[in-house]
Amino acid sequence: MIEITSTNIARAIEKARQTKPFVKVIAFRHYQVINKVTGANYTVKFSKINNRKFAECDCKATVVCYHIGASIGAHIVLAEQMHTAPA
């Protein structure tokens, strides 16, 4: 699990904008990110511990990757719909 900070998530969102992967909601805080070109897909999960935000992705990256960046947009929308703070 990697802690999300405003710096590392901004970088990941920027990379996701360039890559434009497809994000599928599996469950709240649980997403599948699919690369439309290669068909590769990865699972991203978010969690919140003591008001700190964490994410994990099953790709090889050890930083906040663009899969997490792509998922967080869907995640924020869902979290707002559920009247909870974004994880």
Q: Does 59 contact Zn ion by CB under 5 A?
A: yes
Please choose, out of 5-13, 17-25, 41-49, 79-87, the segment that lies near Zn ion by the rule CB under 5 A: 41-49
Q: Is 34 in the site for Zn ion (CB under 5 A)?
A: no
- Given 12, 16, 23, 57, the residue binding Zn ion (CB under 5 A): 57
Closest approach of Zn ion to the CB of residue 28, in Å: 19
Name the minimum Å distance from CB 23 to Zn ion: 12
Token pair belonging to 81: 């719909």
Residue 67 near residue 34 (C-beta atoms within 8 A): no
> Token match 């790709």: residue?
59
- Rounded to whole angstroms, how far apart are CA atoms 63 and 15? 13
Q: How far is CA 39 from the centre of its chain?
A: 18
Query: Does 45 contact Zn ion by CB under 5 A?
Result: no
Q: Kindly give the interhelix angle for 66-81 and 6-19, rounded to the nearest 10 degrees.
A: 100
Contacting residues toward Zn ion, per CB under 5 A:
42, 57, 59, 61, 65, 67
